[in-house]
Amino acid sequence: MYSLNTDLRGQLEDLKKQTADLRKEVGELKMEVKSKVGFLEKEMEKSSQPMRRHQADLGARVDKLQMDVQALMGRFEEGKHFAEKNLQETKTLRESYQTKLEGLDKRIAAIEKSVEPLGKKTDISEKEKAAEKETSPEKPSAKTPAKPENAEASASKTPEKPVKTAALTPDDAYKKAYGLYNKGNIPAAREEFRRFLDVNPKSKYAENAHFWLGECYFSEKKYDEAILEFDEVIKKFPKGNKVPDALYRQGMAFLEMKDTMNAKLIFKEVVKRHPKSDQAARARKKLQELP
């Protein structure tokens, strides 16, 4: 029993030593693990900082984008409101312009009706005078001696032929009218341009003739007639060279008539239809000057 107790005591001592060693190793392992965990936490902290900064930058960018979108929406709504207002204003001005033109057409028709009877009376009076001349015998002049009977007989057998004046060619007729305009003889030029268009409505100079006839009316301060004549250029020759000029001069005629609303409408049409023309540049300047 004594030897057995001695063996057990020796084994217990060994177990205590082994236990102490194990506890020491466990303590060392805990310290090592703790140290490594701390190191890993520091490394994770370092690695997470750029990500946090990136997230902060993304958040700031998102906020800025939201503000930009709100600003754009505001500008869009403002532009939409302005466009609708401008469209309504343009529609109103166009209706007013159309009404104005219809009124001018009626006035021109009334003028033509009132002038037509006068023309008929003039023609009738001229025919009556011509008939009187033909029926009334010619009185011999006191200064001219009486002709012998043979001479009278020969004269009655061979009546004199009336002298015919050569008709002007379209080119010459247009040059004549344009020359009168350049010389400042506006009434005569107006009559010649009107006569040219009556005789040569499909001439290559018809577009220019309508335009310069409108300029004659404009110079005479007959702005209603000028507007209608410029409108003939726009309607009959929509692709002609004089269309931008005619449209711009219509606006100027309305301006002279103190019709600012229709003048602005016409100037806007010049800019819209012919944006690169000289007339568009002048129209833009007029629109800036007008209230």
Distances, alpha carbon 238 to alpha carbons 174, 204, 207, 246, 268, in Å: 21, 14, 10, 11, 17
Q: How many domains does the chain have?
A: 2
DSSP state of 94: H
**Amino acid identity for residue 62 in this structure:** V
Domain of 15 in residue numbering reads as 1-30
Indicate the pLDDT class of residue 258, thresholds 50, 70 and 90. very high
Query: Is pLDDT of 216 > 50?
Result: yes
Examine residue 212 and state whether it is found in any structural domain, yes or no: yes
Rounded CA separation 241/175 (Å): 18
- Tell me: the pLDDT tens digits for 110-164? 555 555 554 554 455 555 554 444 433 333 333 333 343 343 434 444 444 444 4
Distances, alpha carbon 151 to alpha carbons 81, 160, 224, in Å: 95, 14, 61
Indicate the pLDDT class of residue 109, thresholds 50, 70 and 90. low
- CA angle, residues 3, 7, 9, in degrees to nearest 5: 115
Rounded CA separation 213/228 (Å): 10
Q: What is the mean pLDDT of residues 191-206?
A: 95
pLDDT at 156 (0 to 100): 42
Torsion of the alpha carbons at 215, 219, 222 and 228, rounded to the nearest 10: 10
Examine residue 174 and state whether it is found in any structural domain, yes or no: yes
Tokens of 36: 């490594």
* Model confidence pTM above 0.85: no
Residue 269, classified by CB atoms within 10 Å of its CB into exposed (0-12), middle (13-18) or buried (19+), is buried
Tokens of 183: 């010389």
Examine residue 76 and state whether it is found in any structural domain, yes or no: no
Q: What is the mean pLDDT of residues 88-105?
A: 71
Q: What is the CATH number of the domain that holds 249?
A: 1.25.40.10
Give the end-to-end CA distance of the chain in Å, rounded to a whole number: 130
pLDDT at 80 (0 to 100): 74
Distances, alpha carbon 111 to alpha carbons 27, 106, 227, 256, in Å: 123, 9, 16, 22
Query: Is pLDDT of 272 > 60?
Result: yes
